[in-house]
Amino acid sequence: MGKLDGRVAIITGAGRGIGAEVARTFAAEGAAVVVNDLGASMDGNTDEGTPAEEVTEEILKAGGKAAANNCDITDFEATREMVGQAVETFGRLDIVVNVAGIIRDGMIFKMEESQFDAVVAVHLKGCFNTSRHASTYWRENRGGEYRLIHFISGSGIYGGPAQPNYAAAKMGIVGLSNSCASALHGYGVTSNCIAPIAYTRMTASLEGKSTVMDYSPDNEKMSTKNVVPPVVWLASEESSWMNGRIIQAGNGRIGLFNSPAIEREVTTPGIWDMDDAFAEMNTTFKEAIVYPNPFRKG
C-alpha cells in the first residue's frame, strides 16, 4: 500500500531538484503524476534540456504512472490546459504541488524592473494560475480530499538581503495560500506551504559560504529526499486537519512555523497622543524583539 494510492497530482518544476524528488516519490507512493517543467536555466532566461520528459521516463520505467507537461506556469491558459491534461489522462486531479522557481538576485538599490517582474511571474503568478484552475475543477467535483502545496522560502520569512524580488514573491504565495485555505476548505481543499532546505543547483553557490547551514553534495542531511516526507504527508488524506500553515523541511528537520499573531499591544481609549504612542512602542515593543533571524538583528 502506497501513501498516495489512486491519487493524481500535478507537480510544477518537477524536472529537476526538489520537484523531481517529489514527483519520483509521489509515483513510488502510488500517485499518478503530471510532471511539469519547461526546462529553464536557473534565472529562467534560457532553455535547458527536456527534464520533464526525463523524469517521466524514469517513473514509467520504474512501473509508475506519469505524463510530461512542458507549459510555462506563468501562462494562464496553458495552466488551464495542464489541469485538463491531468483529468483527461488520469481521470481526476487531487493534488497540486507548486515547486517551479527561478532566481535573479540583486540588491534592492540596483534591481532592474525585469528582474522583479520575472521572479514574481514564475513564483507568485505561477502559483495563482495552477491554484485558480485546480480550484475551479474541485468546486465542480466536490467530495474529494484535495490539496494545494506551495513552495516558499526562508528568504521571504527572514528577509534574504539580495533577494527582494524572490522574498516578496514567496511571501505573496503565503498570502495566496492563506486565502485559498479560508476560501476552499468547504470544498475539501487544504492549502499549505513548504519552506524547503536542500542542496540543489539553486543553493550550490552557498557551498562552504553559509554560516548557518552546511550546503554540500556530500552532506546527506541536505538531500532533496529530506524535503519530501512532509510533502507526501500534506498530499495524503491523513493531513486534512492541517490548513493554512507553513512547514519547514530539510537538513534532517521538519518544523511547523507559528502563524503570525499580535505579540504585544498598546492601547488608547481615544485618539493617540503622538509622544505617548512613541513612548509605549519604544518600551513595550522593544522587549518583544527577541526572535533569532539569520539575516539581521531584531
149: nearest Cα among 102, 103, 97: 97
Q: Is the separation of the CB atoms in 8 and 32 below 8 Å?
A: yes
Q: Is the separation of the CB atoms in 249 and 226 below 8 Å?
A: yes
Assess 214 for contact with ligand NAD (CB under 6 A).
no
Residue 170 annotated to the active site: yes
Query: What is the residue whose three cell numbers read 534591481?
Result: 111
Among 33, 42, 189, 235, binds ligand NAD (CB under 6 A): 42
Residues 171 and 14: their CA atoms lie apart, in Å, by: 22
Please identify, among the stretches 100-108, 230-238, 261-269, 276-284, the one whose residues bind ligand NAD according to the rule CB under 6 A: 100-108
Among 8, 44, 90, 119, binds ligand NAD (CB under 6 A): 44
Assess 184 for contact with ligand NAD (CB under 6 A).
no
Assess 100 for contact with ligand NAD (CB under 6 A).
yes
Assess 25 for contact with ligand NAD (CB under 6 A).
no
**Nearer Cβ to ligand NAD (253/286):** 253
Among 153, 163, 177, 178, binds ligand NAD (CB under 6 A): 153
Q: Is the separation of the CB atoms in 138 and 184 below 8 Å?
A: yes
Assess 125 for contact with ligand NAD (CB under 6 A).
no
DSSP conformation letters of 127-149? HHHHHHHHHHHHHHS-SS-EEEE
Residues 106 and 163: their CA atoms lie apart, in Å, by: 6
Assess 3 for contact with ligand NAD (CB under 6 A).
no
* Residues engaged in binding ligand NAD (CB under 6 A): 12-13, 15-19, 36-40, 42, 44, 51, 72-74, 99-102, 122, 126, 151, 153, 196-198, 200-203
